[in-house]
């Protein structure tokens, strides 16, 4: 087992593919560069199990997926054309979708990323417990985007809560831009896995200022060598407490995620086993 896995968020829009590569061929090529990917299309719509099965078959045995939970499960609301379903129906559909990856052993975790307004409150704690119970048979990761969870008064309580519920803490590297951002908290709450997501440090673009391209602007950031150097000792410390560390780069609205991920691979001296054979020479 590769104890540290490095990848990026999504596989469709990166500068990895020859011009004209069909979308259907991109995952297999991606799996020659990286051993893990965040599947983020499932945030917008729950994928049919048949599609998940196809993605399982298109990747090597050692490849892993971090699957983002559907938006209605994390308080982001229903898209206009999305089907109207009860919470129980959504949970059922999400779990059914995940089964092919779970059976194959390729599901690292289901990522529940809560919105910036999702503060540290008794009501929200109860809801996370409800999620944990509903997805009891799955590894579940929790990403907070509201600073209140990590104030001096609540940080230890937050981490203890995640540990008690056997939830994976998502460590974030992101701009420090007020209440809707969280500090770097390199803590492990589940002995199996810890997830680190690199969102970039675009302070000016992080919060919604009403720009139509805001979501692209917020993730426009190129990490420097020095910024990634800061992470090497943190990752070494995390290694002592978790069996596996997954590092995912989300700073991709200007195509920087792949370069940042490969820079991190070099800094950590990683040499992945089990990549797709045709692309082994890339690394």
Phi, psi of 198 (to 5 degrees): -105, 110
Enumerate the H helices of the chain as residue ranges. 23-30, 41-44, 49-57, 87-104, 122-134, 155-164, 203-206, 214-218, 225-229, 231-239, 257-268
Residue 281 — very low, low, confident or very high, per pLDDT cuts 50/70/90? very low
Main-chain phi, psi angles of 240, to 5 degrees: -75, -15
| Radius of gyration of the chain, Cα coordinates, nearest whole angstrom | 18
β-pairing, 140-143 vs 107-113, is: parallel
User: In terms of Cα–Cα distance, which of 142, 221, 223, 148 is closest to 181?
Assistant: 148
Whole-prediction pTM: 0.94
Q: Which residue has the tokens 């996370």?
A: 128
Predicted confidence band of residue 209 (pLDDT cuts 50, 70, 90): low
Please tell me the predicted confidence (pLDDT) of residue 218: 77
Chain CA centroid to CA 269, Å: 22
Euclidean distance between CA atoms 58 and 11, whole angstroms: 13
What is the average pLDDT score of the chain? 93
For the residues 39-51, what does the mean pLDDT come to?
Answer: 97
Q: Find, among 189, 221, 192, the residue nearest to 205 by Cα.
A: 221
> Could you tell me the CATH number of the domain that includes residue 173?
3.20.20.410
Query: Could you give the CA distance from residue 42 to residue 126 in angstroms, rounded to a whole number?
Result: 24
Number of domains forming the structure of the chain: 1
Can you tell me the distance from the alpha carbon of 219 to that of 5, in angstroms, rounded to the nearest whole number? Answer: 21
Q: How far is the C-alpha of 273 from the C-alpha of 39, rounded, in Å?
A: 21
Instruction: Find the domain containing 56 and state its range.
Output: 4-282
pLDDT in tens, 146-192: 999 999 999 999 999 999 999 999 999 999 989 999 999 999 999 99
- Rounded-to-integer distance, Cα 127 and Cα 229, Å: 37
Question: What span, in angstroms and rounded, lies between the C-alpha atoms of 228 and 15?
Answer: 21
The residue among 158 and 216 whose pLDDT is bigger is 158
Segment 92-133, tens digit of pLDDT: 999 999 999 999 999 999 999 999 999 999 999 999 999 999
Contact 105, 139 (CB under 8 A): no
pLDDT band at residue 282, thresholds of 50, 70 and 90? very low
């Amino acid at each position: 087992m590769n104890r540290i896995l490095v990848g990026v968020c999504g596989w469709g829009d990166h500068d990895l593919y020859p011009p004209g590569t069909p979308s259907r061929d991109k995952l297999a090529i991606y799996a020659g560069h990286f051993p893990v990917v965040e599947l983020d299309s499932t945030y917008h719509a729950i994928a049919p199990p048949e599609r998940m099965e196809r993605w399982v078959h298109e990747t090597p045995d050692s490849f892993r997926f971090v699957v983002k939970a559907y938006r209605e499960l994390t308080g982001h609301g229903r898209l206009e054309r999305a089907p109207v379903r009860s919470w129980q129906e959504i949970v059922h559909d999400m779990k059914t979708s995940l089964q092919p990856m779970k059976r194959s052993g390729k599901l690292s975790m289901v990522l529940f990323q809560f919105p910036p307004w999702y503060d540290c409150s008794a009501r929200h704690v109860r809801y996370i417990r409800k999620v944990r119970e509903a997805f009891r048979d799955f590894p579940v990761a929790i990403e907070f985007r509201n600073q209140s969870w990590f104030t001096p008064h609540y940080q230890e309580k937050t981490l203890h809560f995640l540990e008690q519920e056997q939830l994976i803490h998502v460590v974030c590297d992101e701009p420090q831009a007020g209440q809707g951002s969280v500090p770097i908290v390199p803590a492990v709450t589940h002995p199996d896995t810890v997830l680190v997501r690199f969102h970039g440090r675009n302070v000016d673009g992080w919060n919604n200022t009403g720009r139509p391209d805001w979501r692209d602007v917020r993730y426009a950031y190129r990490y420097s060598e020095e910024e990634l150097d800061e992470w090497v000792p943190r990752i070494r410390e995390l290694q002592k407490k978790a069996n596996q560390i997954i590092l995912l780069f989300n700073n991709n609205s200007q195509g920087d995620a792949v370069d940042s991920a490969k820079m991190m691979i070099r800094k950590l001296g990683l040499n992945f086993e089990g990549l797709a054979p045709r692309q082994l020479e890339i690394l």
